[in-house]
Amino acid sequence: MKIIVCVKQVPDAKDVRLDPKTNTLAREGVQSIMNPYDQHALEEAVRLKDELGAEVTVLTMGPPQAEDVLRQSIACGADHGVLVSDRAFAGADTWATSYTLAQAIDFLGGADLVLCGKQAIDGDTAQVGPGLAMRLDMPFITCIQKVREADASGLVAERMMDDGYDVVAVDYPVLLTVVKDLNTPRVPSLKGKMRAKKAQFQVLSAADIGADPSLIGLAGSPTQVVRVFPPKPRGERTVLTGDMDEQVSELARRLNAYLQ
């Protein structure tokens, strides 16, 4: 069984700043981490590997320093890491990114199971997973909160919904995007860290994966960021005090005043 986990290196959310000139995220001097949702996707892949026996490949698109998340993945139990890296990929939106990742997965010979985090905490679009599945012509289930059972031919999983969850049974190949309820990512082991230290990663360029230059990077990205700005602070908030009757009358009084 072949599992591919797509991960993204993102700025640590504890330390987010905007570049006032370009209105994009200031990445210089900001600590990078593996997108937290992707950590859960990776954990599930390693858990399935422990249970069923599988080959886990971690795939990331990014600059050379994105190798850090591949190294972290090896420490957490992944078998291989692949870095899709080329200056031509720069400026990719979710459309171009999902195309690029799909090309890379095809180049790697496909997979039975592709796992992605629900979304990345920098862009928060939640589009790459589904987009990637469409490009791979693979069924997908988003927001997986639990994999109930899995074997060599398919799995049964819970999809988180607003009012509960769906239980979905699916055969491979399939792409899942996952939420944080799925599992608790393990602490990387010492032996894993030793393996990670020595790990070598396959680096794929646009030419390697046979990417159409018009579909990658900025050129292949229909999204244009017009302006990024911090949201306006919320208005003043008042906490009502007193016993329940007093609070309700006060609330009714204020609502009436507002309605008139």
Q: Which is nearer to other proteins, 197 or 253 (CB)?
A: 197
Distance CA 116, CA 123 (A): 15
Closest approach, Cβ 34 to other proteins, in A, equals 14
How far CA 242 is from CA of 219, 236, 237, 245, 246, in Å, comes to 60, 20, 17, 8, 6
Distance CA 99, CA 4 (A): 16
Site string for other proteins, 140-179 (x = CB under 8 A): ----------------------------------------
Closest CA to 95 of 212, 251, 238: 212
Which of 31-39, 102-110, 119-127, 185-193 is the region at the interface with other proteins (rule: CB under 8 A)?
185-193
Task: Assess contact for 175 and 140: CB atoms under 8 A.
Answer: yes
Q: Which is nearer to other proteins, 24 or 189 (CB)?
A: 189
Task: Assess contact for 77 and 199: CB atoms under 8 A.
Answer: no
Which of 136-144, 183-191, 225-233, 241-249 is the region at the interface with other proteins (rule: CB under 8 A)?
183-191
Q: Which is nearer to other proteins, 74 or 102 (CB)?
A: 74
Under DSSP, the state recorded for 163 is T
Interface size with other proteins, residues (CB under 8 A): 10
Q: Which is nearer to other proteins, 36 or 123 (CB)?
A: 36
The two three-digit tokens of residue 54, written as one number? 């599988």
Three-point CA angle 131, 135, 136, nearest 5°: 115
Site string for other proteins, 187-216 (x = CB under 8 A): xxxxxxxx--x-------------------
Is 257 a binding residue for other proteins by CB under 8 A? The answer is no
Distance CA 200, CA 85 (A): 15
Distance CA 59, CA 68 (A): 12
Determine which residue in the list 186, 195, 215, 218 makes contact with other proteins, applying CB under 8 A: 186
Distance CA 17, CA 21 (A): 12
Q: Which is nearer to other proteins, 62 or 192 (CB)?
A: 192
Closest approach, Cβ 48 to other proteins, in A, equals 16
Under DSSP, the state recorded for 118 is S
Closest approach, Cβ 39 to other proteins, in A, equals 12
Closest approach, Cβ 68 to other proteins, in A, equals 14
Q: Contact residues for other proteins (CB under 8 A)?
A: 186-194, 197
